Amino acid sequence: MGKRRLVVIAALVFAGCTSPGGADLVTTTQPAATARPVVAPKPTAKAQPTADPSVYYKNCTAARAAGAAPLHRGDPGYRPALDRDGDGVACE
């Protein structure tokens, strides 16, 4: 059967109508599923990405020269000493 015909037949079944040929469509009913309460998942703390300790920039000039600036919290080479305003972005 074509996809379009299946869509039409499905629409007729759900609407409770008869088939295009005039014959009543047979529908089956299944027992209702047992309702279970929905339990919301417990919030978990997001793990902060850890910076690669092997990458170190003496200052922002060095980070810019390496093409790494700006550094975001969690990026290799980021450290709070390079982030003057404490917004998580160093060497802006």
Within-domain flag for 55: no
**CA within 13 Å, CB half, 41:** 3
* For residue 63, pLDDT beyond 80: yes
Check residue 78 and give its pLDDT. 92
- Indicate the helix (H) or strand (E) that contains 8: helix 3-15
Range of the domain at 19: 1-26
Q: Is the pLDDT of residue 3 over 70?
A: no
Residue 12 lies in a domain: yes
17-26 pLDDT, tens per residue? 555 555 555 5
In a domain, 48, yes or no: no
Looking at the predicted structure, is the pLDDT value of residue 92 above 60?
yes
Global confidence as pTM: 0.44
Q: Write the pLDDT tens digit of every residue in 34-60.
A: 777 777 777 766 555 555 668 899 999
11-33: buried (b, 16+ CB within 10 Å) or exposed (e) per residue?
Answer: eeeeeeeeeeeeeeeeeeeeeee
Number of domains in the chain: 2
